[in-house]
Amino acid sequence: MTDLKDFAYLEMAYGLAEKARGWASPNPYVGAVVVRRNKVVGHGFHERPGRAHAEAIALERAGRLAGGSTLYVTLEPCVHWGRTPPCVDAVIRAKPKRVVVSALDPNPIVFQKGIRRLRAAGIDVSVGLLRERNATLNETYTKYITRGIPFVTLKAALSLDGRTATRTMSSRWISHPLTRDYVHLLRGEQDAILVGIQTLIKDDPLLTVRHPQWGGKKIVRVILDSQLRFPLRARILSTLSAGSVIVFSARGAPSRKRALLERRGVEVIEVPGPGRRVQIAAALADLGKRGIASLLVEGGSRVLTAMIEGRFADKLLLTISPRLIGGLAAPSFLEGEGVRLVQDSYPVRRVSSFLIGPDIVIEGYL
């Protein structure tokens, strides 16, 4: 039977790991706690890429008290050199009596190797407690490290009848101000935001992280723009200090427009697809090579539909306002031809919902 203290100390470690959200990517969110004689003598979490890992920080704070202690860590200690030394070496040097690891690291370079190294050094190792917490906490890391592409979340603000705008393309504001504030809070957890060129032209968004909790947070802005219709007076061009702007174009896009955008600090990448369209799979692969592990797609309807139909999306975040818009010409969240039979529809799993003011927020996985 697992000691209830193990649950408590691992929960503490997960509380520390949560502090890394939005900052440590593309690395995993990891927390660690060192306990000796029922007293916490060290703790830490991995703050940013290039900085010390959670175990190393916790053990350093524990100092000599780490010897004979129990180390609680949310993810298997790494065994390889990156920007920092292997954590497993620091653990072995500290000589804890026991290590409680919540989850194995899905990185093929690490998977089970850290556990084997610890056991070979004579350390008692327990694995698996609260691993479901890690599965959710590090869902973006798991996809990124195993497939090399970002974890994709689709976000849309809808009316009760599923419209994202009116027939005149008016969409400000469908959601309640409290809901918009919540979405800006979540935006800070992402590495990048993606929209289609229609959204850029119609709404002229900044696509920056403006919630006060995320002071100094930069985010990559990605635009799908097959024929480079990007307005040279777009407000986003005045915010390059808040994060780089990447435009994915298709074959045949005007070279002169590309030169003008690049002169203004925009990176333009050609990823040709069928029918002079941007190939989304190639765009995601390129983002993955840049270390972008999480991607928030904010519209418009064509892009959201393409993400679902191409099965590129992992998660949905829908905010539903209690208002009716109507109109056959009003855009919906999911368009395209649609499926022929109900059994061909796209199932949404692990659905949860809650209220913010009058709005319903629904989260689910595709």
- 17: closest CA among 49, 51, 43, 50? 43
Enter the tokens of residue 30: 């990891």
Rounded Cα–Cα distance for residues 349 and 361 (Å): 15
74 burial class (0-12, 13-18, 19+ CB within 10 angstroms)? buried
Rounded Cα–Cα distance for residues 100 and 123 (Å): 10
How many other β-carbons are positioned within 10 Å of the β-carbon of residue 82?
A: 12
Is the backbone of residue 209 left (phi > 0), alpha (psi -120 to 50) or beta?
beta
| CB contact burial 298-321 (16+ within 10 A = b; e otherwise) | bbbbbbbbbbbbeebbbbbbbbbb
Q: What is the DSSP letter of 163?
A: B
Neighbouring residues of 273: CB distance < 8 A, sequence distance ≥ 6: 226, 250, 279, 280, 282
The residue from 55, 76, 189, 298 that is catalytic is: 55
358 and 321 Cβ atoms separated by less than 8 Å: yes
55 is catalytic: yes
Distance (Å) of CA 10 to CA 19, 72, 139, 230: 15, 6, 18, 48
**Per DSSP, what are the bridge partners of residue 363?**
317, 352
* Residues labelled catalytic: 55
